[in-house]
Each structure stands twice: as C-alpha cells, then as structure tokens.
Amino acid sequence: MDITSIILGVAILTLFIVPFVIAHIKKSNEKKTFQSFCNENSLSVSETETVGKYTIAIDRANRKFVRTEINGSSISSLIIDIEPGCRCEVVGDETQGISLSIGGKPVRFTSADDGIQTSKEAMYTAGIWKRKICSLK
C-alpha cells in the first residue's frame, strides 16, 4: 500500500465517523441541559421521550407534565400541574395539528411550521402521554 491510499482511506473514514461523533456529543449535551433544568425546577422526572427537538416528560411524584425545547444552551419550557380530576384529551386533526389538552392547556405535538411529527405519529404519541397522565388520577 502506498501512502496516498492510506491517506485517502483515513479521510473517507473520517468523513463517515465525524458526523456520528458530533451528533452523539450534541445529544449528550442536551441530556445534561435537560437534567440541569429538572434539578433547577425540583423535578424528579420518571419518564421521558424525545420527539424531534422537544423533550416530553412526566414527574409522577410532583404530578407535573413537562415539555422542553432545547436550542443550544437555552431552554424553552412548559410545565403543567396535573391536578386530581383534571381533564386530559387529544384534540385536533390532520389539518389543524394534534395537541394534548391537559386541564385546558394545549401542548402541541405536530405543526406544519416546525415539523415535529406527522399527524399519525403525533396522534400515537399524544395517546400514549394521555394514558400516562390519566393513570395519575
């Protein structure tokens, strides 16, 4: 083997490996940021799910539903108290988008402008979280 083949092989290998390493580091940083957010807000999250750029979680001990959007080091969040007897339902359709209404407060699961999920995926995800929330009642 000559040196050109070795250099070419290393360059091609690097092109395939570097994106995976960068994605792993980004996801790891987002998890650390979410954990910091939970610690700052005294949340003991028992279940989480990442949907696109959003993290959805439930704190069963404190009866809270959490949805965060992490952009770099900044966090946009929505925390909803799950009161005993509060109403939880999946609302919307394929044209309006799918939301989960928790005590009258909507949590969007799909939107044409941010492409979180398709309507079918959003309907499934919202149904799962509805059952999790209703199990707290």
Of the candidates 118, 33, 98, the one whose C-alpha atom is nearest the C-alpha of residue 72 is 33
pLDDT at residue 108 in the model: 82
pLDDT tens digits for range 59-71: 988 899 988 887 7
pLDDT at residue 28 in the model: 64
pLDDT tens digits for range 13-58: 888 888 877 776 666 666 667 778 888 888 888 888 887 778 889 9
pLDDT at residue 83 in the model: 84
Contact assessment for residue 84 and residue 137, using Cβ atoms and an 8 Å cutoff: yes
Q: In angstroms, how far is CA 8 from the centroid of its own chain?
A: 39
pLDDT at residue 32 in the model: 66
pLDDT at residue 115 in the model: 52
The overall pTM is greater than 0.75: no
Written as six digits, the tokens of 107 are: 């949590």
pLDDT tens digits for range 110-132: 655 555 567 777 888 888 889 98
- Domain assignment of residue 12, given as a range: 3-134
Element (H, E) at 17: helix 3-40
Element (H, E) at 29: helix 3-40
DSSP 101-120: EETTEEEE---TTT----HH
Domain count, the chain: 1
Q: How many CB atoms lie within 10 A of CB 116?
A: 20
User: What one-letter code names the amino acid at 89?
Assistant: E
* Degrees, nearest 5: CA angle 36-39-44: 125
Contact assessment for residue 78 and residue 70, using Cβ atoms and an 8 Å cutoff: no
